[in-house]
Structures are given as structure tokens and as C-alpha cells.
Amino acid sequence: MDTLTLDWGRGCVARLLGRNQLVRRSDRWEMLSVALVVSALSLAIPVVAAFGTGIKESRSHVYAEQAITRQQTSGTALANARLHVLGDSQAFDVDTRWIADDGVHVGTVAVPDMVRVGDHVDVWIDRNGNHVGAPSPPGQAAAEAVGWAALSWIALAGVSTAGLFTHRRALNRARYAAWDRELVALAGNDDGRASHEQ
């Protein structure tokens, strides 16, 4: 049984560095551009990873500070919760009163379900007693870092690929123009018929 083996690496190197007379200069330029793009994207991986690590450290500090400076207290609903329909989802908020170290505070607080006037409401507050959102979970820093790193690499890959296709189109136009000139020279005149004059 005969087997067919494709060795893309050897073929690319041969087109780029080989001495085959059938390989045109434009083919070598095309393979050189592909090699440069692949190399750039490979070298960009540790750079993007370092970028993601920086984001993780920065966001981890922010979320750690949130966990320290934010605390949950108990408030009282001053009215029935209001329903807000957002497309296929719904949300509730309610006017709430809560007590902090500096006195009584009143504000609008988001709640997961309908509450009635006088019901207990959990409120997240900062050091000044002001209503803030719940602290972000520590694991969110890693997720954001991975997301930003991946997005950065994908953006770089997209720009590089677009440049590669633009370069290839230019090379193809040059090839077509060269073929047209060679066909005209082969025909011996401009009417498309071969010349029989010796």
C-alpha cells in the first residue's frame, strides 16, 4: 500500500531557501512574509502572558481592597420594590434605609426578588456608609487577565493575517502581470496569435 505524507515544514523551507528554478521570487517573498508572521505571533505569546499577569496583579489588589473596605449591613425597605424589565430578564430595586457608623443613610438598592415595605434588605456599604456594589470575587481577576491576554493576541493575529493577505494580493497582481507579459512575448505580437516568422 502506498502512503502519502505531507511535510509542510520541509516544503516551506524549500520554497524559501531552495534552489529550485521553478520557485519564483514572489514565492520566496510570500513564504518569508508567512515565516515572519508565524515568528511574530510565537514571540508575542510570552509578551501577552506578561501583559495578562500584570492585569491579574492589578485587579487582584483592587478586589482585595474591596473585600477589606466593603461590608454588608441590614437595611429596611421604605416601599415596595420596583420591577424593571430588560429584554428577556427582569431586575428589582427598592428605596432602603440603613444605619452606618456616621448615621442613617437612604438610597436605592438592587434586590434579587420582590420585597415589600418594611422587609429586610441586605446592603453593601463602604467605610463611609455609602451604598456600593458587592465586592468582586477573587477569581474574577484571573478570568479578566486570561480574557485580556487572549483578546490582545487575537487582535495581533488578526492584524498580522490582514497584512499577510494584503501582501499576498499584491504578489498575485504582480504574478498575473508577469504572466501577461510572458504570454505576449511567447505569442510574438499583441494579437494573441503565435508568430511564424523565423
Side chain identity, residue 194: A
Helix (H, G, I), strand (E, B) or coil at 64: helix
pTM above 0.75, yes or no: no
Cβ–Cβ < 8 Å for 67, 132: no
Domain ranges within the chain, ordered by starting residue: 8-64+139-187, 71-125
Q: In a structure prediction context, what are the per-residue pLDDT tens digits for the chain, which is 198 residues long?
A: 555 454 444 555 555 555 655 566 767 778 888 889 999 999 999 999 999 999 999 999 999 998 888 999 999 999 999 998 888 888 999 999 999 888 899 999 999 899 999 999 999 999 889 999 888 888 899 999 999 999 999 999 999 999 988 888 888 888 888 778 878 888 765 555 554 454
Using alpha carbons only, what angle is made at residue 171 by residues 168 and 172, rounded to the nearest 5 degrees? 85
